[in-house]
Amino acid sequence: MESVWIAFGLTLFAGLATGIGSGLAFFTRRTNYRFLAIATGFSAGVMLYVSFVEIFVKGADALTARYGDFGHWVNAASFFGGMLLIGLIDNLIPAGENPHEPHPEEEIAPVHDPSAPLPSFSAAAVVEQGTPSRFHDHSMNSDRLMRMGLFTALAVGIHNFPEGLATFLAALHDPALGLAIAVAIALHNIPEGISVSVPIFYATGDRRKAFVYSLLSGVAEPIGAGVAFLALRLFAGGGAQVIPSEVMGILFGGVAGIMVYISLDELLPTSRAYGQGHDSLLGLIAGMVLMALSLLLLK
């Protein structure tokens, strides 16, 4: 049972990192975009490396032990099944605005400092030759803006559900592996926290309310862990030790697919948007190197 509580704790830590992003928006003098670029690139590096080198391989080992060479086919199907699951969630529950779209410093300045002037969103809505502005349109009425912020929070929460599932299953099988995934997901939740809190702040002028909604959007991850735990208990009637190896293999294949999709669809584009030069690549390589060293030292 202790391993279950460790897995829940790591999942809760990863989910509530949305509050860190909101805190960075409200309680620092300015947003460090280079940190966000490197951090999200680092998160992608950890997820990609651990998915292909560790989790996918563990799934293949478990499934080939049960099904022989056919296990490789089952593992591949599980991997792409995980991608399909998160892809369907992406298409069925789109965010009102992309939760990974960076907010420029002029836009976030009033969030940091109440005395800072509000940017002219309406004037910036269209620039020369009809090119869309880099500003989010916060000139809309507060009710619509609040709905957008809440819908973004809901979308982030639903997207976080399979991430909680991935963290919990990995930590249940191997706490050290779960810790690495939890840190990667926590880093990737930081810019999501900013994206949830900023529109709610402009709608309400209330920093506390914006912070709370941002924090709550990450609670979906421990909820995902809870659903995974209940499903496993109902299916296997016990802890991780009695879960059939073929079931864990299929779950690992699916988790690997989910994390690769998140890395390619969300993290790397976000890192490129926040960063300059090779910031994204530096973060990606650093994440892979650290994950490789961790796995080698733990063997």
Q: For the chain, what is the mean pLDDT?
A: 76
Q: What is the pLDDT of residues 23-64, one digit of tens each?
A: 776 776 666 778 878 888 888 898 899 899 988 998 999 899
Distance CA 207, CA 204 (A): 8
How much is the average pLDDT of 285-299?
A: 84
Top mean pLDDT of 145-149, 241-245, 255-259 is at 255-259
- What pLDDT, on the 0 to 100 scale, is given for residue 33? 74
Distance CA 195, CA 100 (A): 7
- What pLDDT, on the 0 to 100 scale, is given for residue 130? 43
DSSP 95: -
Q: What is the pLDDT of residues 99-142, one digit of tens each?
A: 555 666 666 666 666 666 666 555 444 443 344 444 455 444 55
- What pLDDT, on the 0 to 100 scale, is given for residue 80? 97
User: Which residue is listed with tokens 């709610």?
Assistant: 200
Cα distance from N-terminal residue to C-terminal residue, the chain: 24
**Structural contact between residues 250 and 78, judged by C-beta atoms closer than 8 angstroms:** yes
Measure CA 285 to chain center: 19
Give the max Cα distance, the chain: 67
pTM (two decimals): 0.72
**Structural contact between residues 273 and 101, judged by C-beta atoms closer than 8 angstroms:** yes
Question: So where are the chain's domains?
Answer: 2-112+148-298
With a CB cutoff of 8 Å and minimum separation 6, the contacts of 200 are: 146, 149, 150, 153, 206, 209, 210, 213, 214
Distance CA 194, CA 26 (A): 9
